[in-house]
Structure 1
Amino acid sequence: MRADRLVAALLFLQARGLVTAAELAAELEVSERTARRDLEALTASGVPVYAQRGRGGGWRLVGGARTDLTGLTSPEVRALFLAAGSSGASPELRAALRKLLRAVPEPLRPDAEAASRARIVDELDWSGTAVTAADPHLAELERAVLDGVRVRLGYARPGEEPAERTVDPLGLVHKAGHWYLVAGTGDGLRSYRLGRIASVEPTGEPVRRPAGFDLAAAWRSLAGRLEDRLLATAVTAHADPDALPVLQRLFGGRLRIGRLLGDGRREIEAAGPSLEVLAAQLAGLADRVEVVGPPAARAHLARLGRALRSRYEEREDATTP
């Protein structure tokens, strides 16, 4: 792409100071005529390049002018502005993009401007409700990670009151609509969901960072442990064909669709953290999904059925004149 070539020409001028059209042509692997047109295009676009005529002449940047650009290509500029330029970007990020746009050479600006307007982020579902609530402690934890400061967290596991723990914040990960803090503890690396953090208090003590720590590798390890817990057990069932889309939305990658049965139903296998959780998830599809194993899952569904029948039959009797 010509825009990429112009950036390469600019950086070559910056590195060499004075270049001839022949030298630039060899560097860019183009003809001298093309190299000369590129140099003229840089001048026309406002880059302070001028031709020095005569013996020992060539092309140079006026007054030793330099660019802060580090060799970004047109696709790279487009990808950067597309990723960071959405309507959901923070005011600080949008301000940084405006400054970066002024530093981008003229030939690359149309791509950058188009990419910055090409994406929006809408955090509301169709009912007008935010899909994920803002994490109030995200900014505090970002500072702690960047400053390398240990923190005391008030952290509440599901169904429990918040408990205090002191951790070494090492990084933040966004996964499936939720933020997680990866932190060092006395028991090794742990992850903490920000939505369950009740308080954050910096201790002023420096973080103890494990030697060779890599956030991506640490997260893969932690996520693998969590996935193992989420896939601890499975049930098999026979499902009506019209139930398959519902099951796919409910279980996603935890659903395996098997062979077609003689009665038109499909054999399925659904994985989850426990038989009780799986039974509760499938109970609402009782008329379209029949759990066939293991026996403990069928027994739990039977108990759920008896409890539902007892509750709602009692209410119906109480409200009948």
Structure 2
Amino acid sequence: MRADRLVATLLFLQSRGRVTAAEVAEELEISVATARRDLEALSTAGIPVYPQPGRGGGWSLVGGARTDLSGLTSTEAQALFLLVGPAAAVAPEAKAALRKLVAALPRTFREDAAAAASAVVIDSARWGDPVTPRPELVARLQNAVVRRLRVRFSYASKGKPAQRRVVDPWGLVDKDDSWYLIAGTERGRRTFRVDRISGAEVTDEPASRPAEFDLDAAWREVVARVEDGQRACTAVVRVPARLVSVLRRQFGQHCVVVEERDGVATVRVSAPAPVMVAQHLAGWGAGLEVVESDAVRAELARIGRELAGLYG
């Protein structure tokens, strides 16, 4: 788990003062390339870790060797916990490590570090949308979550004009490179797609966050609602097994292989409505066959008649 490695790398640096990527690789039993990437990740995140080129160089922790985390500043502690926090949701060992690390921090830093550790959830399962670059706004929103400050922005819901909102930011979720903000509003908890947010301003107003709020649990509820809607229509199709990967790119996790035999796969695909399933499948022509779902077959027949009428 990368979170474990990042923490182990930092502690190794604190005990040695200066190390090479090769020494980190040997200590943690990883490749030199992986060790170098982890050192660069710590440095990029704002941890005071810097490379020293040349003979006798390596990577140094500014301030000299230390045996605990009390030498980190508040900003550096937040940066570390933003890096390792997301893994704690899926790795009990990382969660236990985070609790110990929080306890090792100066008392005045503990609240911000704990907030940083729970500010982001990573969910790698796709919903079928194309991958988008990480918005620059994410770092600003992370800062607002950690500092518990309200955010003002314009938000354009799908098919609706943008409206100005003021929210209490509770956490961020990375859904396969698509980012979502979960926040408190005057109408209760809401989920916002970050790529639909514009003109965001972090205010000086303190944000309210329920003491019992759990970002990971809240996101599971969001996923359950979305999944229920996206599975409203299911069809079973037969397709050459070599093309299953293409079908998966169309339907994301709503494409499940039921059986594969003699180079032919039986696949279950889902979408919110029959027409949406048919629209994805129509471009395959006779390359696949829908064997279950009369509604999807009817939509495909309709699309076929329309195309034949238009193009003869």
TM-score range for the pair, normalised by the shorter chain length: 0.5 to 0.7
Equivalent position SS for 1:287: helix
User: How big is each residue's C-alpha offset from its partner over 1:22-60, in whole Å with a ceiling of 9 and x where there is no partner?
Assistant: xxxxxxxxxxxxxxxxxxxx9xx899xxxxxxxxxxxxx
Equivalent position SS for 1:85: helix
Aligned to 2:167: 167
| Paired amino acid for 1:194 | V
- Indicate the RMSD between aligned Cα atoms, in angstroms: 4.0
Gap regions ≥5 residues in structure 1 = 12-41, 48-73, 106-129, 314-321
Distance, in Å, in 2 between the alignment partners of 1:151 and 1:258 is 46
Aligned to 1:197: 197
Distance, in Å, in 1 between the alignment partners of 2:284 and 2:278 is 10
Residues 148, 169 of structure 2: 8 Å contact kept:
yes
Distance, in Å, in 2 between the alignment partners of 1:252 and 1:46 is 46
Aligned to 2:297: 298
Question: Residues 260 and 175 (structure 1 numbering): CA distance in 2 closer, same or farther, change over 3 Å?
Answer: closer
Percent identity at matched positions?
35
State the shift of 1:239 in Å.
2.4
Residues 279, 300 of structure 1: 8 Å contact kept:
yes
Question: Residues 266 and 135 (structure 1 numbering): CA distance in 2 closer, same or farther, change over 3 Å?
Answer: closer
* Greater RCO (CA < 8 Å, at least 6 residues apart): 2
Question: Residues 260 and 170 (structure 1 numbering): CA distance in 2 closer, same or farther, change over 3 Å?
Answer: closer
Distance, in Å, in 2 between the alignment partners of 1:284 and 1:138 is 36
Distance, in Å, in 2 between the alignment partners of 1:102 and 1:203 is 34
Question: Residues 90 and 182 (structure 1 numbering): CA distance in 2 closer, same or farther, change over 3 Å?
Answer: farther
Question: Residues 167 and 310 (structure 1 numbering): CA distance in 2 closer, same or farther, change over 3 Å?
Answer: farther
Question: Residues 252 and 242 (structure 1 numbering): CA distance in 2 closer, same or farther, change over 3 Å?
Answer: same
Aligned to 2:39: 85
Question: Residues 95 and 258 (structure 1 numbering): CA distance in 2 closer, same or farther, change over 3 Å?
Answer: closer
Distance, in Å, in 2 between the alignment partners of 1:291 and 1:46 is 63
**TM-score, normalised to structure 1's length?**
0.56
Distance, in Å, in 2 between the alignment partners of 1:247 and 1:76 is 38
Aligned to 1:100: 61
Aligned to 1:138: 138
Question: Residues 306 and 153 (structure 1 numbering): CA distance in 2 closer, same or farther, change over 3 Å?
Answer: farther
State the shift of 1:186 in Å.
3.2
- Number of aligned residues: 221
| Paired amino acid for 2:138 | L
Residues 17, 65 of structure 2: 8 Å contact kept:
no
Aligned to 2:117: none
Question: Residues 174 and 310 (structure 1 numbering): CA distance in 2 closer, same or farther, change over 3 Å?
Answer: same
* 1:283 is aligned to 2:282: yes
Radius of gyration: which is bigger? Answer: 1
| Paired amino acid for 1:297 | V
Distance, in Å, in 2 between the alignment partners of 1:166 and 1:174 is 22
Aligned to 2:120: none
Distance, in Å, in 2 between the alignment partners of 1:293 and 1:199 is 47
State the shift of 1:270 in Å.
0.8
Distance, in Å, in 1 between the alignment partners of 2:155 and 2:164 is 6
Aligned to 1:23: none
Gap regions ≥5 residues in structure 2 = 1-7, 19-26, 51-59, 67-129
| Paired amino acid for 1:275 | P
